[in-house]
Amino acid sequence: MLDATAGSPWFQVQRVTETLARIDEPNVHELLRANIWHLRGRDHDLVVDAGLGVASLREHLPGLFENSPVLVLTHRHLDHVGSAHEFSDRRMHAATEVDGRTPASLRGPELASLLGLAWLDAPPLLIDRAPSELFEVDSYAILPAPATDVLADGDVIDLGDRQLRVVHLPGHTPGCICLFEEQSGALFSGDVIYDGVLLDELPESDTAAYLDSMLRLRSMPVKIVYPGHGDPFDGDRLRELVDAHLRLRSGDGS
């Protein structure tokens, strides 16, 4: 039985810059421990992705909702859309549907089956404690959160004092997008790129499209990457990761 009282608060908040914070869920297995990015703007705040949805963002982090936040979903996987229903302004690509049918489970073997992952040593549970005494593992599901605005390549998210451009980079999923701030060179990359094993062979993935996305990404003047999983890294590391994946897919693993 999961303990609902031990440990720290469910969400961990780390200040990255004066205007940017990283939020994650330390009691979640690393596969699903995704980053939520909170960027403060003059007229609106930007929230990139919405976590697993095991615990309420609005209840635990009410400050996230104070400045008319714009939620942008980078793609449709459960660890990025879980609390999307809590936001009134939800923006995503047309292929990112959060319609109540998102494959979701907190049981490792079941989730592996739902996602088509060859995860032979999947743990029985993907969280190590419950967020509350009333929480039931098998009641977990992604609630519907339809787009209030559909995003396409080249669209701009305007926060008043800063603007971020939508970059559609399919492959991991059909609807994967990144957000790029030209002025700072900052890229919010979702699962298009992070410093780890990149997944482009899921049932909904498109390896050829992913390679095209990698080539486009490599050509962008990125200075810093804020990924969907793991720590930020610079543009040089981004290009190293892209090159390594291109070599892998070309059959040259050297």
- What is the tens place of the pLDDT at every residue in 65-108? 999 999 999 999 999 999 999 999 999 999 999 998 999 999 99
Q: Which two tokens stand for residue 193?
A: 């790129």
In a domain, 1, yes or no: no
Q: How far is CA 201 from CA 31, 109, 118, 158, 205, in A?
A: 16, 18, 11, 34, 5
Boundaries of domain holding 142: 12-249
The number of distinct structural domains making up the chain is: 1
* pLDDT at residue 7, as a whole number: 61
| Domain-embedded: residue 153 | yes
CATH of the domain at 91: 3.60.15.10
Residue 229 domain flag: yes
How would residue 5 be classed by pLDDT, with cut points 50, 70 and 90? low
pLDDT tens digit string along 193-228? 999 999 999 999 999 999 999 999 999 999 999 999
How many angstroms separate the CA atoms of 12 and 30, rounded?
14
231, part of any domain: yes
Establish if 4 belongs to a structural domain. Answer: no
Q: Is residue 131 part of a domain?
A: yes
Q: What is the pTM of this model?
A: 0.96
| pLDDT of 3 over the 90 cut | no
Tens of pLDDT along 15-55? 999 999 999 999 999 999 999 999 999 999 999 999 999 99
Q: Per the domain annotation, does 188 fall within a domain? A: yes
Please report whether residue 254 resides in a domain: no
Q: In the chain, how long is the greatest CA-to-CA distance? A: 51
